[in-house]
Amino acid sequence: MDKFLQLFVSGVALGGIYALIALGFVVIYKATGTFNFAQGGFVLLGTYLTYQLAVEWEVNFYLSTLIAVLAMAGVAMLIERTVLRRMMDQPAFTIILVTVGILLFLQQLVPIIWDEPGLRFANPWLGEVVDIGGVSISHANIWTVVYAGVVFGAFALFFKFTRTGIGMQAAALDQEAAAAQGISVARSFQVSWAIAGAVGVLAGVMLTARGGDALTPAIGFVALRALPAMILGGLDSPGGAVVGGVIIGVAEVLTAGYLEYEWLGANFSSVVPYLVLIFVLLFRPSGLFGTKEVERV
Amino acid sequence: MTDDLRLLRSAGARIGAALAVAAVVVTPLLISSDFWMSVFIAAGVFALGGLGLNLLTGYTGQASLGQAAFVLIGAYTAAWFGADKGWPMLLWMAAAMLAAGLVGAAIGPFALRFKGNYLVVVSIALVFVTVHVLQNWDSFSGGFNGKSVGGISLSFLVDFGDLSIFGKQFTPEQGLFYLTWIVVGLATLAVANIIRTRPGRALQAIRDRDVAAEVIGIRVARNKVIVFALSGAMAGLAGGLDAARVGFLTPGVAESQLLLSIRYVAVIVVGGVGTVVGAIVGALFLGPLPELVEEFSDKINFTVPLVDQPLLKDSATSEGIMSNAVFSEILFSILLVVFLMFQPRGLVGLWHRMVASLKRRGTPTDDAGPDIEPVATPH
């Protein structure tokens, strides 16, 4: 039972990370109606940026994360402004392929700037464990859940109570009608990209802290596992991203902890998110909380 | 027969086709280097897989990052039947196409449940699952250690592995070159025929307005599943030929296979999405790029000013800004983004535009316009 609880908490924490990344996918999907594969690149570049500040330049860890969050929000907005804005009238697959191109670019940029196969990125929670009723939980996991909770709470408030947030919801619902009401659709696109860049950094830093202190460019691809979380929760539902993220995270950690069938192969847990995805799609194509698609001719 | 339905619409197209055939016949007669033959075979493999992807993305409007999975499935199926079981060439080719085609058909229904482009996520899932299975299914794939494709049969009517025509003996690479490009030629013909006739029109209608397509009596579901199967089968055959080229298969890691999928996307985008010859043009320009960068790294290399370091490094530890592999991936990513932004119809579109503007200059009264189909309309 202790082992189960331990794994469960760890899975929830991983789920929180996936949920953060999925939130980045969801806000852009809601605003623009397409996937943004560059999200994995935001996670990757943002984490390395934080590393550069915190380790190489010895800035305080939390301050480094904050600076990197702001910087990546800026980078994401810049990409939106220079590349995606010009392509608004292109078919969906063209826009998706452009974001794939940006992902590939960022993925290769990192090993050029940080020319080491693996780096050490220590964090304040390294090795710290708290014992709750016989279940030992790492500080990193606890803080991951807290941060994810705070971020999602903040976004819920933002979308409900601020002018920009409400405007973004309107623009997501109907761009033309929103524009007619004086809401800037372009601004809503820009803010959604900034959010995606910002949450990507946080997710990447927590993802690194989770595994100890090793940092490799592979975390850009780990971020892709948040895609199943996004689809599972429903493409356009930030709340669904949380549930989807937690389900995927727990499923992945539990299989890693319990499943020991040799024929399933080593690292089976890393494909579990995708198998869950395929399974769910068979039965609930619009995810758990997504809007059912209604088509009017 | 209307002009639109002809296989080769203009004198230019007929001349182009004749030149392409001539180029395939002549190239091995002029070039004997194994390296260059291997480069052109690789380009042919990319052309074949790209033709399939173009059918899916360019003509049906479905983005996919799964092409590497179909290539892998085809390669291992070919190795299993062709090398291990010693099946004749046509049979292992059919098996590779069938295996990849069936997986494609199985993926198709996911695209039906969703509108838009969710399929792209399912296709990523397919790459991860395929690589995982190949890494672990030792008895079939050899697992992480890989699998030899030695002794695979390349003969049908003539033996392409030991080709000899009119007393001229060809190297195995030259033989495989002919085989690959004959297959590419047949596949091009097949795709061109699909596109210019009823099924092709149906696919393009689905791409542009799927509800309207359904209303005028096109079976959207059936057509989509068929195109997935076809696209998978062509990639599977490409995988089989590539297995024969490299001689040894390893599953690699899912991340690198995903990069291969992106490379296929770059090939059709740079060549021309939604044009028949686009995949071939793109494959010739981009397909063997990593091999070329590797071979000519010392010629490409230069000292970058400001940082005062060489651009490419010889080995992982030596001085330099980036490795050869990173350099070619960066090129792919930049080309992909730049072409999608500024030349979404690719090199083929660029060519058509140049020809059209030359024509206009020649005969100002004749305003027939470029002989190309309209680009996909935004949704």
How close is the nearest chain B Cα to the Cα of A90, in Å? 5
C-alpha to C-alpha distances, B203 to A266, B61, B215, B376, nearest whole angstrom: 41, 9, 14, 12
* Percent of all residues in chain A with a pLDDT value above 90, rounded to a whole number: 26
Can you give the three-state secondary structure of chain B, one letter per residue?
CCHHHCCCCCHHHHHHHHHHHHHHHHHHHHCCCHHHHHHHHHHHHHHHHHHHHHHHHCCCCCCCCCHHHHHHHHHHHHHHHHHHCCCCHHHHHHHHHHHHHHHHHHHHHHHHHCCCCCHHHHHHHHHHHHHHHHHHCHHHHCHHHCEECCCCCCEECEEHHHCEECCEECCHHHHHHHHHHHHHHHHHHHHHHHHHCHHHHHHHHHHHCHHHHHHCCCCHHHHHHHHHHHHHHHHHHHHHHHHHHHCEECCCCHHHHHHHHHHHHHHHHHHCCCCCCHHHHHHHHHCCHHHHHHHCHHHHCCEECCCCEECECCCCCCCCCECHHHHHHHHHHHHHHHHHHHCCCHHHHHHHHHHHHHHHHHCCCCCCCCCCCCCCCCC
Residues whose CB is less than 8 angstroms from the CB of residue B312 and which lie 6 or more positions away in sequence, other chains included: B293, B297, B300, B301, B320, B321, B322, B323, B324, B327
- Residue A132's H or E segment, with its range, is strand A129-132
C-alpha to C-alpha distances, B130 to A252, B68, B126, B136, nearest whole angstrom: 18, 9, 6, 10
Question: Mind giving me the DSSP string for A66-123?
Answer: HHHHHHHHHHHHHHHHHTGGGGTTS-HHHHHHHHHHHHHHHHHHHHHHS--S-EE---
pLDDT per residue as tens digits for the range B99-139: 999 999 988 777 666 655 677 888 888 999 999 999 888 88
Query: What pLDDT does residue B369 have?
Result: 42
* Percent of all residues in chain A with a pLDDT value above 70, rounded to a whole number: 95
Q: How is residue A4 written in tokens?
A: 């189960």
| Residues within 8 A of A (CB atoms), B 271-290 only | 273
pLDDT per residue as tens digits for the range A71-93: 999 999 999 999 988 888 788 78
Instruction: Give A215's strand partners.
Output: A119
Instruction: Give B249's strand partners.
Output: B147
Q: Is B259 on the interface with A (CB under 8 A)?
A: yes
pLDDT per residue as tens digits for the range A181-217: 888 888 888 999 999 999 999 999 998 888 778 888 8
The predicted model gives A106-131 an average pLDDT of 84
* Between residues B74 and A116, the one the model is more confident about: B74
Residues of A in contact with B323 (CB under 8 A): 111
How close is the nearest chain A Cα to the Cα of B330, in Å? 6
Rounded Cα distance between A50 and A60, Å, is 10
Check residue A290 and report its DSSP letter.
P
How close is the nearest chain B Cα to the Cα of A89, in Å? 6
Do A270 and A221 touch, CB atoms closer than 8 A? no
Check residue A174 and report its DSSP letter.
-
Do B254 and B132 touch, CB atoms closer than 8 A? yes
- Tell me chain A's radius of gyration from C-alpha atoms: 19
Check residue A225 and report its DSSP letter.
G
Query: What pLDDT does residue B366 have?
Result: 44
Q: Are B341 and A96 in contact (CB < 8 Å)?
A: no
pLDDT per residue as tens digits for the range B177-228: 889 999 999 999 888 888 887 777 777 777 777 777 777 777 777 778 888 8
Q: Is B248 on the interface with A (CB under 8 A)?
A: no
Q: Which of B125, B132, B255 sits opposite A218 (nearest CB)?
A: B255
Query: What pLDDT does residue B368 have?
Result: 43
Query: What pLDDT does residue B365 have?
Result: 47
Q: Counting Cβ atoms within 10 Å, is residue B83 exposed (0-12), middle (13-18) or buried (19+)?
A: buried
Do A249 and A45 touch, CB atoms closer than 8 A? no
Does residue B319 have a pLDDT over 80? Answer: no
Query: What pLDDT does residue A291 have?
Result: 66
Query: What pLDDT does residue B362 have?
Result: 65
Nearest residue in chain B measured CA to CA from A296: B211
Residues of B in contact with A111 (CB under 8 A): 322-323, 326
Q: Are A277 and B129 in contact (CB < 8 Å)?
A: no
C-alpha to C-alpha distances, B60 to A91, A96, B352, nearest whole angstrom: 12, 15, 22
pLDDT per residue as tens digits for the range A214-236: 888 888 888 888 888 888 887 77
Count of A–B CB contacts within 8 Å? 135
Does residue B2 have a pLDDT over 60? Answer: no
Q: Which of A34, A117, A271 sits opposite B132 (nearest CB)?
A: A271
User: What is the overall mean pLDDT for chain A?
Assistant: 86
Lowest average pLDDT, out of A135-149, B47-61, B351-365, goes to B351-365
pLDDT per residue as tens digits for the range A125-174: 887 888 887 788 888 888 888 999 999 999 889 888 988 888 888 888 88
Does residue B357 have a pLDDT over 50? Answer: yes
Query: What pLDDT does residue B43 have?
Result: 93
Q: Residue B306: how many CB atoms within 10 A of its CB? A: 5
Query: What pLDDT does residue B116 have?
Result: 55
Q: Model ipTM?
A: 0.88
pLDDT per residue as tens digits for the range B253-263: 888 888 899 99
Pick the most confident of A3-12, B19-28, B199-208, B212-221: A3-12
Nearest residue in chain B measured CA to CA from A94: B340
